[in-house]
Amino acid sequence: MNHYSPDLPNAGPLPPAALVDWVHFEKSRGELGPGFIRILGYYREDGVKSLEAIDAAMREHNTVALVLPAHTLKGESRQFGAEAVARVAEKIEDVARFAIEQQRFPDELVPDVVELRRLWQGTIEALDQAVNPLMSRGAQGGGFGKKVTNQSFGRI
């Protein structure tokens, strides 16, 4: 029997492009308008709650309790283009639903739950970087993470 621990080692950070569909993200930002940052904050809060609920369900071997937080995280992640998180959350949801039908606990999900937490952390960091007014996706070699500074402003 596998014992779940969310503190297992991870494989390191993934690049933002592997975590987020930036075209979908920008489309959502445009559609949500001025409420975008507030709704992104709700995503962060709800995501943490979903991760905590999934962790608790794994520790308690409660298959039924895996379904709703995984389903919620999947849907909310897709709203922001967080496809890597959405795919793993969907797998957890689907496997848990199947395990319920089989009346068993899905121990095989332990690596996926650990990976979900790692992907969540990387995704939140990428999204924070994308909405931080001090960061830019400049066209010159660009990508998220290029800092815009005014270090030469006012210097002779």
Whether residue 31 lies inside any domain: the answer is: yes
Using pLDDT thresholds of 50, 70 and 90, give the confidence band for residue 98.
very high
The domain in which residue 141 lies consists of 16-147
Residue 141 lies in a domain: yes
Q: For residue 6, is it within any domain?
A: no
In a domain, 1, yes or no: no
Whether 10 is in a domain gets the answer no
| Number of domains composing the chain | 1
Query: pLDDT-derived band of residue 132, with 50, 70 and 90 as boundaries?
Result: confident
- Model pLDDT, residue 125: 94
How many other C-beta atoms can be found within 10 angstroms of the C-beta atom of residue 73? Answer: 29
pLDDT in tens, 47-86: 999 999 999 999 999 999 999 999 999 999 999 999 999 9
The CATH number given to whatever domain includes residue 68 is: 1.20.120.160
Q: Which tokens hold the place of 91?
A: 């797998």
Band (14; pLDDT cuts 50, 70, 90): confident
Q: Amino acid identity of 84?
A: A
131 domain-assigned? yes
State the average pLDDT over residues 32-37. 93
pLDDT of residue 13: 65
Q: Kindly state the tokens that stand for 105.
A: 């606990």
146 vs 84, residue with greater confidence:
84
Question: Does some domain include residue 3?
Answer: no
Q: When comparing pLDDT for 29 and 18, which is higher?
A: 29
**Within the chain, what is the greatest distance between any pair of CA atoms?**
74
Torsion of CA 135, 137, 142, 148, to 10 degrees: -30
Question: Mean pLDDT throughout 117-135?
Answer: 89
Does residue 152 form part of some domain? no
